[in-house]
Amino acid sequence: MGTIRDTKYKIVKNFFSQDEVNLLKKYVVIKQRLNITEFDMKQSITKDTYFYGDPIMESFLLTKFDLMERETNLELCPTYSYWRMYTKFSDLKKHKDRPSCEISVTAMIGSDGTPWPIFIGDKEIKLNDGDAVIYLGCEVEHYRNEFQGDWHAQVFFHYVDKNGENKEWWKDKRTLWGEQKII
């Protein structure tokens, strides 16, 4: 059996259980409404809400570790989590990720129902609540077109190959889980 390196991406249906989706939807909506400091002024004209190293997402980063190793068929080291609440007119420019995002997963938490596919290379991928796509963030360009809905929440979990060239990025070079880092 090969690894994620052979296919460059892999869709995982029900990455989050229905109970996890229900909890996360409530959590992100409440957290976004209470947010007064975490706005993306660099990447987004809409000033989307984002959270690096959020404690519940860091917990899922670690909880989903075994699943990620099974799905990628690699020995991994977790680096960090990051989630966003995208709003109308958000987009995700075509890009490749930094070294701590060697093996990435984007999982859909929920939305207002407006479809918003992610493109991995030239492949359009539509995710439902709780679904995820694992991809080689440093190798494959990925992007999203402009969002036309009201809200869309995604979480990103990042890992590196334990035996690879980016292994020094374990914990994204932080000393503690859940620790904030300016990106």
pLDDT digits (tens, 9 = 90+) for 74-122: 999 999 998 988 888 888 889 999 999 999 999 999 999 999 999 999 9
Q: How many whole angstroms separate alpha carbon 50 and alpha carbon 62?
A: 20
pLDDT band at 35 (very low <50, low <70, confident <90, very high): low
Could you give the percent of the chain with pLDDT greater than 70?
87
Provide the pLDDT for residue 176.
78
Among the listed ranges 36-50, 110-124, 167-181, which one has the minimum average pLDDT value? Answer: 36-50
The pTM of this model reads: 0.89
Picking from 30, 54, 53, 60, the residue whose alpha carbon sits closest to that of residue 130 is 60
Is residue 51's pLDDT more than 80? no
181 pLDDT band, cuts 50/70/90, is low
* Cα–Cα distance for residue pair 175/106, rounded to 1 Å: 24
Q: Hey, what's the torsion of the CAs at 24, 100, 137, 159, to 10 degrees?
A: -60
- Residue 183 has what pLDDT? 45
Q: What is the mean pLDDT of residues 49-68?
A: 90
